[in-house]
Chains A and B, each alone.
Chain A
Amino acid sequence: MSRYVLKRIGTGILTVLVVFVINFVIMHATPGDPINYLMGKDNHNEELRAELEAKYGLDQPMHVQFFSYLKTAATGDLGDSIIYGKPVSQMIGEKVGATLLLGLVSGIMALLLGTVMGIYAARHEGKLSDWLFSGFSYIMNSVPSFWLGLMLILIFASGLKLLPSYGMTSARVSYTGWAHIKDVLIHLILPAVTLTAILIPQYFRIAKSSVLQVTNEEFVMSLRATGMSEKKIFNKYIFRNAILPTVTIFGISMAFLITGVTLIETVFAWPGMGTLVLKAINQRDYPTLMGIYLVMSIAIAVVMLIVDLIYALLDPRIRYQ
């Protein structure tokens, strides 16, 4: 087990390093020199240029530059936004909460719903419910998340006027306390439903195939030979064995989750990192873009590590090696 943990941590650290390398390479590979890029193409402020050059030590050999970049980033300094002048880390900090809210709620809902659907479909394989659930999953797999968001806005917001179409809070009124929470929740519904629907297919697929696979294993037949009730066999033995891949998928789906959150935030003008990304793209605010990429990658690496650890705890074959 400890070997497994160490190896996973090793890969995690390596991933973070790779992200740094990628960022560094991109900075130097873009047309024009990196300072231009950090300052913005049209900025001709000589003082700023001198300051940045000293800070990033551009006259130094590459590997020294790389290490100073690493050091700077490690202290939390991700540079400043070209457009707003604010430190990127601060901007990210302001928006992270909203993204986490949307992302976590949707991720967990998708895991629960998708897994339940998958288990049900596996137990009723070939029947109508299986076809319906599988069909739903297949289609959701093919739907662009942002388009689905637009459709839901069309139907529920402008069409039926049931739910708000953008933002996290009402623009006109400012609530506090419970009313505020309710306000946020109402605004959360459409984006969360969209994201959840998009994420369900992966959980559905893995749950269904896992349950089917485990049910066909020999030990299930052995248990039947003892006279154990189907109910007990399923609830305790099949379930416990089949649920393991779902845990793994949760980790792997993190990258996909982040992509989805970003796109959906732009559709619903949800004030999270996704909106930040959109603005940064439009304004070519590279430091912000790269800072976000860095933060996201590290976050994903950490989550995947935690998920792998949880998996190792759940699967005795790995826990006791």
Chain B
Amino acid sequence: MEPVLELKNVSVTYKNAEKEVYAVRNVSLRIEKGDSLGIVGESGSGKSTLAMAVLRLLSENSAVVEGEAMFGGRNLLAMSQEELRELRWTQLAVVFQKAMNSLSPVHRIGTQFEDIYRVHEPKASKAEIKKRVLELFKLVNLPERVYRLYPHEMSGGMLQRTAIALSLLHNPKLLIFDEATTALDVVTQGQILKEVVEMEKTLDMTRIMITHDMSVVAVSCNKIAVMYAGEFMEVGMTKDVLSHPMHPYTKGLLQAFPSLKGEVNELKAIPGFLPDLSKKSAGCIFAPRCPYKTAACEQMKPEPVTLEDGRIVACLAVGGGKNE
């Protein structure tokens, strides 16, 4: 079955007068219909950059994007702005991190929804739009009065739900949540995640959640992709990866998070820092911090290997040697 989104060798390089930063390097990924994929990584891992690049929201002056992002048979990265515009919001929508900053502070919520609706349905009547919006509000548990409010009159949770409702306006095929719950308190975050998962039972939606918080993925995603320094380390079904992580980085990440069950285990942070992304490395990008590294790891870059159960791992220890 054709995937909803397939990334093939996508790279994003930031260029300025002084140097080039290889933020995302040669990344490939398949997202099937109905998936809820969580892309997890530390700050600086390139996860948001990847999403922005695929959505073509990065400034062309500062970022060079290479590779293919196949969506509905077409390459997002090669399309013209016109073609892209047709897809935006109707097929592909985003929920950003701080919803307060995603909305214009001086226009009412309803006005903004109307304008955004009319981008793709210019002839729609106000009544029609309002009906649709109120429907969505019900779906995300927002009271009707939000339609007349201004952003600053709402709480963080309400704003985030508004942003979710907004993203569902045209029933997009693919929805990307870019750190969408990071700015919320834990309780609200939990509520919203629950609501999203409930919502998906009735809507036909494929979702990508970008986050640094493992628990968000554990609770709301069926697949997980672990990203480090611009590359995918491990991709697989969430329950499999969380219970039996195969990549050393994944193992390290899991050890750094407190257990959901409340056992008091010692938390171990992964020693070291992110590598300097302006330099290309010969070997495995995680090698400097890996407790299992070998001499080969520093010289040979592991190719991602697909295992029998569908798990993908990029580690020499799991048979990722390029030139065997």
Contact = CB atoms under 8 A, between A and B. Distances in A.
A and B touch in the complex (CB under 8 A): yes
Interface of A: 217-219, 221-229, 232, 236-237, 240-241, 244, 314-317, 320
Interface of B: 55, 57, 84-90, 93-94, 96, 98, 101-108, 115-116, 119-120, 150, 152-153
A263 B171 CA distance: 64
A222 B107 CA distance: 14
Given A222-B96, A226-B88, A320-B150, A240 B115 contact: no
A233 to B, nearest CB: 9
B116 A228 contact: yes
Given A225-B57, A227-B89, A320 B105 contact: no
13 contacts: A218-B101, A221-B57, A222-B94, A225-B89, A228-B119, A229-B85, A236-B115, A237-B104, A240-B106, A314-B106, A316-B150, A317-B152, A320-B153
Given A227-B89, A228-B116, A317-B150, A222 B103 contact: yes
A225 B115 contact: no
Given A225-B93, A227-B120, A316-B152, 17 more contacts: A218-B98, A219-B104, A222-B101, A223-B116, A226-B89, A226-B93, A226-B116, A227-B89, A227-B119, A228-B115, A228-B116, A228-B119, A237-B107, A241-B105, A315-B106, A316-B105, A320-B152
Contact of A227 (B88, B96, B104, B150): B88
Which 8 pairs, one residue from A and one from B, show the smallest C-beta to C-beta distance? A227-B88, A218-B101, A222-B102, A227-B85, A226-B89, A316-B150, A226-B116, A228-B119
B119 A226 contact: yes
B95 to A, nearest CB: 9
B105 A317 contact: yes
Interface centre among A225, A229, A241, A317 (most CB of B within 10 A): A225
A104 B115 CA distance: 37
A218 B94 CA distance: 13
B117 to A, nearest CB: 9
Given A227-B88, A228-B119, A217 B150 contact: no
Contacts of A229: 85, 119
Contacts of A237: 104, 107
Contacts of B108: 316
Contacts, number: 71
A225 B102 CA distance: 10
B170 to A, nearest CB: 9
B54 to A, nearest CB: 11
Nearest to A224: B57
A232 B104 CA distance: 13
A218 B106 CA distance: 14
A229 B120 CA distance: 11
Contacts of B106: 240-241, 244, 314-317
A28 B119 CA distance: 69
Contacts of B94: 222, 225
A143 B273 CA distance: 55
Contacts of A232: 115, 119
Contacts of B116: 223, 226, 228
Contacts of B84: 227
Given A221-B57, A225-B55, A226-B116, A240 B107 contact: yes
A208 B86 CA distance: 32
Contact of A218 (B86, B89, B102, B120): B102
Given A225-B94, A226-B116, A316-B150, A219 B101 contact: yes
Contacts of B120: 227
A232 B57 CA distance: 17
A221 B98 CA distance: 12
Contacts of B104: 219, 223, 237, 240-241
A166 B173 CA distance: 72
Contacts of B96: 218, 222
A227 B86 contact: yes
A316 B104 CA distance: 11
Contacts of A218: 96, 98, 101-102
Interface centre among A222, A228, A316, A317 (most CB of B within 10 A): A222
Interface centre among A224, A226, A240, A317 (most CB of B within 10 A): A226
Nearest to A217: B101
A243 to B, nearest CB: 9
Nearest to B59: A221
